[in-house]
Structure 1
Amino acid sequence: MEERTRAYLRGRFRDYYRRTSIAPPPDANLREWGFIPWTAGSGTTMVRHKSLLDLGALDEFLARKRPRHVYFSAGRYDDPSSDTMGSKGWRSSDLVFDLDADHLPGVTPSEDSYEEMLATCKDALLRLLDILETDFGFEDLTVVFSGGRGYHVHVRDDGVRELDREQRREIVDYVRGIDVEFEHLIEQEAVGGTAGRSSPAHKRSLVTDGGWSRRVHRRLTTFVDELLDLPEEDALERLQEFDGIGEGKARGALTAARNNRQQIEAGNVDVHPAVFQLARILAEDVLDAESAPIDEPVTTDTNRLIRLPGSLHGGTGLRVLRIDRDELAGFRPLDDAVTEQFVGQQIRVDVTGTEEMPGGTQDSATISLGGDSFTIEPGAQTVPEHVGVYLMARGHAEKEKE
């Protein structure tokens, strides 16, 4: 990044912070603070091991330093400004989850647009929140658009604050569906002896009141209802699409579904061997479709630094934006996180290349920002300022001389 570009962005970040009041996180005085300034060169320099007392009033600090990135710690400490982690005196930590769009299964950064990647990431976020709220019962959640590649979720329920790394890793494994075996989701119940034998028989059931078992049961009952709504031949054909289910098993499963719908609703998967097999197959689909591919090191790190909501992301110029839970469904990151101070005027930039942009080619790239779509080509051009800031912050353009 050229000095002219860096000076322009630094100045515009200052203008933003001068006009914006940012609320600090809870227990702000107990947290470590860090920031990355607009330094020259290709590398970045993190200034950390600061307390809020060191920084001073947050709004004044941001307007004075106009940092490229600003962070606070998940951890709370006796002495957050101590220069070694061991001497800070750890008290507790938020439970933080991070979803990065370009690390998600099914996302190809070289082919997918930024908008498409963030849409996939939002789907993963909704799955994550469903697990956190439904399976764990967490209530004190803060959802944040990172301003860059994805989303953060901060959990501050009292019960999570003192969890150690291994306990947090267990939560990560659960959220990601790691080591969840179908057999572990099944409960066996003795239902009495069989003819000529003294030992009882067992009924195998899925637990219906929570966890991954409830999710598999929900998928099974939904699938059974879809089968029963189909003509018989279509239902049999649908069942035979699964590996290991031929015509005989398909007929048996369909008959069992018709005759034992209430038992299946109650969790019983022993109404027919093919129904049990179907539940096992659907369990694999559920784990793939409903787990959340979170970044494990972020959640397990009790000392992690995370972006400050309300600040600007130095790699995009977008706001790090806290999102109300009831507004998440309609949230559009590339519209809602555009910085208002950067809207309404044009600037000149020199686009250095488009091939490295998400979904871009050597000749052009399409960017959607602020409710409009823009076709960007290499070379000098006039663009709306919020687009120009994004291109310069991403390293795709330099500021042209006025």
Structure 2
Amino acid sequence: MERRTREYLSGRFGDYYRRSDTPVPPAAADREWGHIPFTEGEGTTMVRHQSLLDVAGGPEQLGEFLARESPRHVYFSAARYDDPSNRTMAQKGWRSADLVFDLDADHLPGVDPETDSYTEMLRECKDALLDLLDVLTTDFGFGDDELEIVFSGGRGYHVHVRDPSVRGLDSEARREVVDYVRGIDLDRDGLIEKRPNDRGTLQKTLRAEGGWGRRVHERLLAYTDALLNADEETALARLQELDGVGEKTATTIYGVLQNNPEGVRSGNVELGPGASTLIRALADRVLAEETAPIDEPVTTDVRRLIRLPGSLHGGTGFVVRRLDREVVDDFEPTRDAVAEQFRDQRIMVEVTEPGPVPVGNGPSDDSFTIEGGTRSVREFVGVFLLARGRAEKAAE
């Protein structure tokens, strides 16, 4: 990054903070704070092991500090400490930590950063976010007021759980949470148990009361409806697409579904010899489609630094946006995370890496193509290109 580019971004980041109200997290004075300034050269320098008192003089002065220093990135700790500015981690006096989840578009299964566009990856990441939120609210019972949803400003999303009941969890307990959310080592056969029926005999029953058993049961109901709404030949063919289900087993299962659909709705899975095979196959589909591929080290690290909502991401210029649950579905990062301060004017940039620009300024409102050389662009487009290292600031 050339000096002119660095000075321009630093100046405009400072302008953003001067005109913005950057909120602080709960217990802000008990957390460690860190930031990365705009520095010369290719490397970055993290300034950390600071309390908010060290950084800004207190929560009320955070905005003044950000406007004055105009950092490239801003972070705070998920943890709360007795002495957050102590440079020795063991002597900080760890008290507790928020339960934090990170979804990174680059790490999602089925996403290829080499071929998928930035916008496409972010859309896949939002689908993963919705799966995560469903697990956290439905399976764990966290309310919307206990979750803070944040667009990271870069490649994904963060979710902070601030329920007091989870703040004291150690790394091992948090790893168990990760395993559940990702469906790791789910006992597929254990989803079925034998329970007494009203005749006093034992019958195979799906654990459908909650958790992954409930999700598999919902998938079984949808699968049953699809089979019964199809003609018999189609239904039998679909059943035989499942591993381990041949013509005879498919016929047995289909007959039971036809004769006792209400039993299946109650969780009764006495479907003959193919019951376990059917449940395992549907469980595999549920795990493939409904688990959230969260970044395990972020959740298990009880001392993690995480981006400050309301700050700017120095690699894109986007706002690290806090999102209410009701707006997540319609949220488009490359449009809705653009800072208002960067929308009004045009700037000159020297484009060094031409190609698609995934910022809301083109025919599809999320991408357009820019050619190399000196170009006049809307400022938020220029900030994105400069921050990504795809352009340098040109003389006006």
Task: Determine helix, strand or coil for the equivalent of 1:368.
Answer: coil
* Structure-2 separation of matches of 1:108 and 1:275: 36
The answer for the alignment partner of 1:67 in structure 2 is 71
* Structure-1 separation of matches of 2:278 and 2:192: 14
The answer for the alignment partner of 1:330 in structure 2 is 330
* Structure-2 separation of matches of 1:305 and 1:17: 21
**Does residue 368 of structure 1 match 2:359?**
yes
The answer for the alignment partner of 1:385 in structure 2 is 379
Task: Determine helix, strand or coil for the equivalent of 1:102.
Answer: helix
Letter in 1 for 2:360: L
The answer for the alignment partner of 1:105 in structure 2 is 109
- Specify whether residues 67 and 101 from structure 1 end up closer, same or farther in structure 2 by C-alpha distance, changes over 3 A only: same
Letter in 2 for 1:137: G
* Structure-2 separation of matches of 1:244 and 1:162: 45
- Specify whether residues 62 and 378 from structure 1 end up closer, same or farther in structure 2 by C-alpha distance, changes over 3 A only: same
- Could you tell me which of 116, 122, 139 is aligned with 1:118? 122
Deviations 1:276-329, CA, capped at 9 Å, x for gaps: 321111111111111000000000011000000000000000000000011111
CA contact (8 A) 1:367 1:376 kept: no
The answer for the alignment partner of 1:182 in structure 2 is 188
CA contact (8 A) 1:68 1:313 kept: yes
Letter in 2 for 1:95: L
Mapping of residues 210-359 of structure 1, within 5 Å: 210-354=210-354
Decide which moves more: 274-283 or 40-49: 274-283
* Structure-2 separation of matches of 1:111 and 1:203: 50
* Structure-2 separation of matches of 1:238 and 1:352: 53
Letter in 2 for 1:69: H
* Structure-2 separation of matches of 1:239 and 1:188: 24
Letter in 2 for 1:38: F
TM-aligned CA deviation for residue 191 of structure 1: 5.8
Task: Determine helix, strand or coil for the equivalent of 2:359.
Answer: strand
* Structure-2 separation of matches of 1:271 and 1:179: 25
**Does residue 144 of structure 1 match 2:144?**
no
The answer for the alignment partner of 1:162 in structure 2 is 168
CA contact (8 A) 1:365 1:377 kept: no
* Structure-2 separation of matches of 1:192 and 1:220: 23
Letter in 1 for 2:72: R
What's the Cα RMSD here?
Answer: 1.5
* Structure-2 separation of matches of 1:112 and 1:372: 14
TM-aligned CA deviation for residue 367 of structure 1: 2.6
* Structure-2 separation of matches of 1:246 and 1:40: 66
Task: Determine helix, strand or coil for the equivalent of 2:358.
Answer: strand
Letter in 2 for 1:400: A
Decide which moves more: 177-186 or 287-296: 177-186
CA contact (8 A) 2:319 2:338 kept: yes
Percent sequence identity is 60
Letter in 2 for 1:29: A
TM-aligned CA deviation for residue 189 of structure 1: 2.1
- Specify whether residues 36 and 366 from structure 1 end up closer, same or farther in structure 2 by C-alpha distance, changes over 3 A only: closer
The answer for the alignment partner of 1:396 in structure 2 is 390
Deviations 1:185-241, CA, capped at 9 Å, x for gaps: 222225699xxxxxx964222111210111111101110011101111111122122
Task: Determine helix, strand or coil for the equivalent of 1:299.
Answer: helix
* Structure-2 separation of matches of 1:280 and 1:289: 14
* Structure-2 separation of matches of 1:396 and 1:184: 52
Deviations 1:234-269, CA, capped at 9 Å, x for gaps: 111221222222222221111110112111111122
Q: Which runs of 5+ in 1 are unaligned?
A: 194-199, 355-363
**Does residue 8 of structure 1 match 2:8?**
yes
Task: Determine helix, strand or coil for the equivalent of 1:369.
Answer: coil
- Provide the TM-score with structure 2 as the length reference: 0.95
The answer for the alignment partner of 1:361 in structure 2 is none
TM-aligned CA deviation for residue 374 of structure 1: 2.1
- Could you tell me which of 72, 94, 114 is aligned with 1:90? 94
Decide which moves more: 45-54 or 182-191: 182-191
Deviations 1:50-77, CA, capped at 9 Å, x for gaps: 1111122111110011000000100000
* Structure-2 separation of matches of 1:7 and 1:366: 23
Decide which moves more: 68-77 or 49-58: 49-58
CA contact (8 A) 2:189 2:276 kept: no
CA contact (8 A) 2:334 2:358 kept: no
Task: Determine helix, strand or coil for the equivalent of 2:85.
Answer: coil
Decide which moves more: 135-144 or 374-383: 374-383
Task: Determine helix, strand or coil for the equivalent of 1:350.
Answer: strand
TM-aligned CA deviation for residue 5 of structure 1: 0.5
Decide which moves more: 364-373 or 289-298: 364-373
Letter in 2 for 1:221: L
CA contact (8 A) 1:260 1:271 kept: no
